[in-house]
Amino acid sequence: MQRQTDRSSGLSVPVLMYHSVSRESSDRFRAYAVDPDIFADHMSALSEAGYQPMSVEAYVRLMDEPLSHWPSGPLVLTFDDAFLDFHTTALPVLQAHRFPATLYVPTAYVGGTSRWLARENEADRPVMSWQALREAAGAGVEIGSHSQTHPQLDLMSASEATREITDSRRMLEDQLQHPVSSFAYPFGYWNRSVRAAVVDAGYVSACAVRDLTSSTVDDRHALSRWTVPFGMDASALLETLESRPGRVAELRSNARARASRLLRRSGVKKRGQLPTTG
């Protein structure tokens, strides 16, 4: 496995983002569900291709190290939302390959269901319990925060966003008795105020989305991730990993992010629900 340089001359490191590993999903949520057999094929293909997965914590720690300290095929595995199927389906596959990963937890829903997904007809998808999260942490999975209630943080007031960011970390550390150093922005939405709140809360890193390959010169509180799409087989996954996006993809990603925020703010303002931002 050859190391690849990134658009900004740093080391190119794919950070993959999964959500649910399940055959069951509503039409609106299907893009975020990966069939368990396909997921198992993904992990086998990564192993056979020489990739060496790591957690976000390990990735950020290596950013300060010389190239000689890096594995030959660096890749980061992340899972958002802490659905129960991570514990029952994804974790055994990761353990079989001895793959580390990072799991991001929206703390208000632990032991309950994904009520934030009501619009996607997925409000009843089970979320891991505290005991299941402890077992995952004991198996070597890094547990990170995904806020409390999975809101659009960039459309909230500064005080509301800060509570979401700080209280979720406090709850995770109280329950797991382990430091929590990484955050993932719900929906990938963030702005300078939200990022500053994450830094002030003591997080060492934070993951966005962007659907771009990360780089060792990335902002550690806005790491790029790439969503693994529904239906992508193992060979297509490997092909995508080898064809890293360039400057045009980056510009398109930035444009989509700006357009998305303008549309979301406009929609909330029309309903008279636009909060004051900090």
Mean pLDDT across 237-264: 58
Q: What is the DSSP letter of 68?
A: G
pLDDT at 243: 82
Q: pLDDT higher for 246 or 152? A: 152
Domain membership flag for residue 156: yes
Domain membership flag for residue 253: yes
- Rounded to whole angstroms, the Cα distance separating 53 from 175 reads 27
CATH of the domain at 244: 3.20.20.370
List all residues 6 or more positions away from 31 whose beta carbon is below 8 Å from its beta carbon: 227, 229, 230
Q: Is the pLDDT of residue 245 over 90?
A: no
Domain membership flag for residue 235: yes
Return the sign of the alpha-carbon dihedral for residues 35, 37, 40, 41. negative
| Closest to 102 in 3D by CA, of 132, 146, 63 | 146
CB atoms inside a 10 Å sphere around CB 184: 31
Mean pLDDT across 80-109: 98
As a dihedral over the C-alpha atoms of residue 260, residue 273, residue 127, residue 112, rounded to 10 degrees, the angle is -170
97-129 per-position pLDDT tens digit: 999 999 999 999 999 999 999 999 999 999 999
The number of folded domains in the chain is: 1
- Rounded to whole angstroms, the Cα distance separating 100 from 94 reads 7
Q: Is the pLDDT of residue 160 over 90?
A: yes
Range of the domain at 19: 12-270
- Rounded to whole angstroms, the Cα distance separating 45 from 60 reads 24
20-58 per-position pLDDT tens digit: 999 999 999 999 999 999 999 999 999 999 999 999 999
DSSP three-state, residue 111: coil
Q: Is the pLDDT of residue 205 over 60?
A: yes
| Closest to 221 in 3D by CA, of 193, 251, 249 | 193
Domain membership flag for residue 275: no
pLDDT at 68: 87
Is residue 82 a contact partner of residue 110, using CB atoms and an 8 Å limit? yes
